Amino acid sequence: MPYLYLDRTFLDARWARTVENVSALVAYGVMPDGHRRLLGVSIGVEESKESWGELLGQLVERGLSGVQLVIADEHRGLIQAVRRLLPEVRRQRCTVHLERNVLTKVPQRLRGRVAGQLRT
């Protein structure tokens, strides 16, 4: 599994007849042939070094190997967990997160043009 993507998302989950918006840590890998595989999901946890460490630890215990590059945002806890559990693996900042962060600093009237330039 040469490429490992890590991110947090939010889902609507039903708990005891109520719907709540919960956090989900998601890990998926990309195989050498380009196909993606969902590797793990942790529901209802906060994004922290401990929670990312738990998810990554489970993946390693289940046999995750051959990772050459981790693609993720710059969350401090995520970075620390990757350094601890996959110390030899290079990291790359997710370009989607980078673009979003840049565009929050750009005036609204220029966002379309700047977004196009960023993509190129």
User: Which whole number is the average pLDDT over 9-21?
Assistant: 86
Q: Is this structure's pTM higher than 0.85?
A: no
What letter represents residue 6's amino acid? Answer: L
State whether residue 20 is helix, strand or coil: strand
For residues 83-94, give the mean pLDDT. Answer: 90
- State the pLDDT at residue 97: 67
Q: Find the mean pLDDT for residues 101-120.
A: 86
Q: What is the mean pLDDT of residues 67-87?
A: 93
Return the percentage of the chain with pLDDT > 90, whole number: 52
Hey, what CATH topology would domain 3-94 get?
Answer: Nucleotidyltransferase; domain 5 (3.30.420)
Name residues whose C-beta falls within 8 Å of residue 4's C-beta, 6 or more positions apart in sequence.
27, 28, 29, 30, 39, 64, 67, 69, 70, 71, 86, 89
Higher pLDDT, 41 or 94: 41
